[in-house]
Amino acid sequence: MEGMTVNRRIRQARQALNMTQTDFSKAIYVSNGYTAEIENGHRAANDRIIRLISLTFGVSETWLKTGEGEMFHASPIKRKEKILSLFDELNPGFQEYALSVIDQLIKLQKDEKKTNS
């Protein structure tokens, strides 16, 4: 969208992810107030923040900076489809192992959120 600022694109990406400012902020390790200031245009989004958003949520850095191209590297739906496709290729024993690793990752993520709260 022409005329849209980096700050507005960050808000648009967050909304496309269906995330609150609080959850979005926690995921990239900044305060909710900092995110609000960026989204409201009271603070510039530096390269570090843009990179964090890109790496954390799969948002294109080019799109964030210029508005050109697609918002996401790969849509969340395509990522899920890829995960399911890869999972189906595993034999049952490896599927169980993959599920246990995912369970451990979710536990680590929850523990990390508690620590950062």
- Claim to verify: residue 10 and residue 62 sit in the same structural domain: yes
In contact, 38 and 45? CB cutoff 8 Å: yes
Residue 31 lies in a domain: yes
Residue 11 lies in a domain: yes
Nearest Cα neighbor of 54 from 17, 5, 102, 101 is: 17
What residues are paired with 72 via a beta bridge? 59
pTM (two decimals):
0.63
- pLDDT band per the 50, 70, 90 thresholds, residue 3: low
The CATH number of the domain holding residue 22 is 1.10.260.40
The pLDDT tens digits for 72-95 are: 886 667 778 888 888 999 999 999
- Claim to verify: residue 14 and residue 45 sit in the same structural domain: yes
> H/E/C letters for each residue in 43-76?
CCCCHHHHHHHHHHHCECHHHHHHCCCCCECCCH
Give the domain extent around 107: 76-116
**Which of 24-28, 67-71, 79-83 has the weakest average pLDDT?**
79-83
In contact, 7 and 41? CB cutoff 8 Å: yes
Residue 51 lies in a domain: yes
Residue ending a domain, among 26, 43, 66, is 66
Share of the chain above pLDDT 70, in %: 94
Residue 96: both structure tokens together: 């169980």
Residue 58 lies in a domain: yes
Q: What is the pLDDT of residue 112?
A: 82
- Claim to verify: residue 12 and residue 51 sit in the same structural domain: yes
- Claim to verify: residue 94 and residue 54 sit in the same structural domain: no
- Claim to verify: residue 10 and residue 59 sit in the same structural domain: yes
In contact, 45 and 6? CB cutoff 8 Å: yes
Per DSSP, the three-state class of 3 is coil
Q: Domain count for the chain, please give it.
A: 2
